[in-house]
Structure 1
Amino acid sequence: MTLGFYPGCSLKGSSREYAESVLAVAKTLDIAIQEISDWNCCGATAAHNLNRELSLALPARILALAEKQGLTEIVVPCAACYSRLTVTRHELLKDPALKARISEINNMEFKGNVTMLNIIQMIDKYVTPVLESRVIKPFDHKVACYYGCYLVRPHEILNFDREEDPQTMDELMLKIGAKPIDWAYKTECCGAGLSVSRTSSVGRLSGKIIGDAKDRGAEAMIVACPMCHSNLDMRRDSINSYLGEKVDIPVLYITQAIGLAVGIDRKSLGLQRHFVKVTV
């Protein structure tokens, strides 16, 4: 079976190391992935703040393209993209008139027979059966698994893991030899899209996340969202300013941590692209 792959905008730009690590892990573990041809932006935050039809038409076109290309399951590594595609599918399938209207706008029929997997679901479903047997160098570090907002909310639509204390990423980290910590900020907001307009707010919100992880002995943060990674990594100066101390805990995508454990070289995982040096 071939999985569809929707990279979204971030994985082609500011978070290219995420894409590199996803594709490297898939190749190493023999998972066939096919990028959706002619994909477009999902609309992210901007579209559903401005125009409801646009916010549905953009993700619906992506899903319709996947259907036309014969894909039935697609992996969506960006948590925000995953949320937009999943919520759009839910909204259109419950409202036939709206579904028809969006199909008309796109000049492309949306049937709703493609399902989405976030990166944690993809790993849990397709990697877990072989993961422990493929570990070459256990990732023997204390880690804080940070899920953020979008992977688990809205729970009634996404229906992924527990809303307040999710465990799937923690369980996957255990399989590669890591030691997930019990901590208080697993699903707290990092500041998301306020990174440019209100950097000090991001420093405060992300600072609480980094600070709690540090206080509980974490040696690395594990994430599955480009925006979360950007705020926790790139905005470290603002975080350190809020905390009043320099904290050098690196932030890794879950695919980078798994990649290291199964023997993929650091450059192929994009670890050299981080702002906070990855020392684990």
Structure 2
Amino acid sequence: MTGKIRYAYYPGCSGQGTSVEYDTSTRAVCAALDIELVDIPDWNCCGSSPAHTVDHHLSAALSCRNLAQAAQVEGARGVITPCPSCLSNLKTSARRMADPDFAARVNKLLDKPLRHIPPVKSVLQALFEDVGPDALYPRVFKRLEGLKLAPYYGCIMNRPPQIMEFDDHEHPVAMDRLLEAVGATALPFPLKVECCGASYGVARQDIVERLSGRLLDAAAACGADAFVTACPLCQMNLDLRQDQINAANKTGHRIPVFYYTQLLGLALGLDPKALGLDKLAVSPRDVLAAVGVRA
């Protein structure tokens, strides 16, 4: 990579609240790697999980308004977002707008018709393609040697493949390769695209306890020191709900759950406070101290 790359940045609603550490660590890592993030002006909620279950056209209009706003960012290569749910909504809406009848109904809901659809990708894809493991390696300040990680992508970061169009939808490796470039060990985690229970944590806690419990069990069986994920909802279920899961399943897991950007930031020598490590429910201090990293 040569020179700075500019993207229109969609932080998503959770990035302003429950996953603020994902947003701040994403911004810090991108700045350190010469990726300029310009917040989409006057962005709105993409509809997240519920909107499309109520009205497909209204759901698409929410995302398409963001795409129209993003097109105003001068010099941007496209739109990137850290959140897989936001990514799915933005990319799905963009694809559906290729249907003239669908587009006509959506455009009636917008202040101005959407004329230009910028490319959309995840921050993970941008880091992997625009920076890449080989270019990341020489920038490392502190190698994370000895840190054994269970890379967990969640069920929608790469699926459905005809819409997400990045990495392998059953065995993705982009996050693995970036983590390996900074010295960590990415374990062959067998459940890297299995569902954690997603938003059922509110309506059906038992489902999250079963599915996320299965993930925690598998990580422990692999000998993982920690989970690393790219999804705010996955991180919340595995981290914040870990005590609930232990109580329900009669287990005793104490496995830290990092965002991959937090670990990349540590390896790049960024301030742990800027990476939001203090926001994690399961403290990562002992795990990091064991590999010579102070958090």
User: Which of the five TM-score ranges fits, normalised by the shorter chain?
Assistant: over 0.9
Task: Spell out, residue by residue over 1:54-79, the C-alpha distance to the aligned partner (whole angstroms, 9 max, x if none).
Answer: 11110010001111333441111001
1:16 maps to which residue?
Answer: 20
Matched length: 279
> Does the residue aligned with 1:44 lie in a helix, a strand or coil?
coil
Q: CA contact under 8 A between 1:200 and 1:238: conserved in structure 2?
A: no
Q: Give the drift of 1:210.
A: 1.0
2:54 maps to which residue?
Answer: 50
1:275 aligns with 2:281: yes
Q: Give the drift of 1:117.
A: 1.5
2:35 maps to which residue?
Answer: 31
- TM-score normalized with structure 2 length: 0.91
- Matching residue within 177, 181, 184 for 2:183: 177
Q: CA contact under 8 A between 1:89 and 1:112: conserved in structure 2?
A: no
> Does the residue aligned with 2:128 lie in a helix, a strand or coil?
helix
Task: Spell out, residue by residue over 1:109-160, the C-alpha distance to the aligned partner (whole angstroms, 9 max, x if none).
Answer: 2134301111210111233253111111112211110011110111121122
1:91 aligns with 2:91: no
2:292 maps to which residue?
Answer: none
Moved more, 157-166 or 11-20: 157-166
Task: Spell out, residue by residue over 1:186-236, the C-alpha distance to the aligned partner (whole angstroms, 9 max, x if none).
Answer: 100001011112122111110100110111101111100100111111110
- Matching residue within 164, 171, 174 for 1:165: 171
Q: Give the drift of 1:104.
A: 2.2
Identity across the alignment (%): 39
> Does the residue aligned with 1:2 lie in a helix, a strand or coil?
strand
The one-letter amino acid paired with 1:258 is: L
Q: CA contact under 8 A between 1:119 and 1:224: conserved in structure 2?
A: no
1:218 maps to which residue?
Answer: 224
Moved more, 39-48 or 244-253: 244-253
Q: Relative to 1, partners in 2 of residues 1:46 and 1:126: Cα closer, same or farther, differing over 3 Å? A: same
Task: Spell out, residue by residue over 1:80-112, the C-alpha distance to the aligned partner (whole angstroms, 9 max, x if none).
Answer: 00000001101112x022213212211222134
Task: Please provide the CA RMSD for this pair.
Answer: 1.3
> Does the residue aligned with 2:108 lie in a helix, a strand or coil?
helix
Give the Cα–Cα distance (whole angstroms) in 1 for the partners of residues 193 and 168 of structure 2: 10
The one-letter amino acid paired with 1:269 is: L
1:80 maps to which residue?
Answer: 85
Give the Cα–Cα distance (whole angstroms) in 1 for the partners of residues 249 and 169 of structure 2: 27
1:251 maps to which residue?
Answer: 257
1:139 maps to which residue?
Answer: 144
- TM-score normalized with structure 1 length: 0.96
- Matching residue within 222, 227, 243 for 1:237: 243
Give the Cα–Cα distance (whole angstroms) in 1 for the partners of residues 248 and 60 of structure 2: 38
The one-letter amino acid paired with 2:115 is: K
In structure 2, list runs of 5 or more residues that go unmatched.
289-295
> Does the residue aligned with 2:203 lie in a helix, a strand or coil?
coil
> Does the residue aligned with 1:252 lie in a helix, a strand or coil?
strand
1:203 maps to which residue?
Answer: 209
Give the Cα–Cα distance (whole angstroms) in 2 for the partners of residues 249 and 68 of structure 1: 42
Q: Give the drift of 1:278.
A: 1.3
In structure 1, list runs of 5 or more residues that go unmatched.
none
> Does the residue aligned with 1:192 lie in a helix, a strand or coil?
coil
Compare the two structures and name the one with the higher helix fraction: 1
- Matching residue within 4, 9, 22 for 1:5: 9
> Does the residue aligned with 2:258 lie in a helix, a strand or coil?
strand
Q: Give the drift of 1:245.
A: 2.2
Give the Cα–Cα distance (whole angstroms) in 2 for the partners of residues 183 and 132 of structure 1: 23
Task: Spell out, residue by residue over 1:4-33, the C-alpha distance to the aligned partner (whole angstroms, 9 max, x if none).
Answer: 100010000100000010011122222211
Give the Cα–Cα distance (whole angstroms) in 1 for the partners of residues 41 and 16 of structure 2: 14
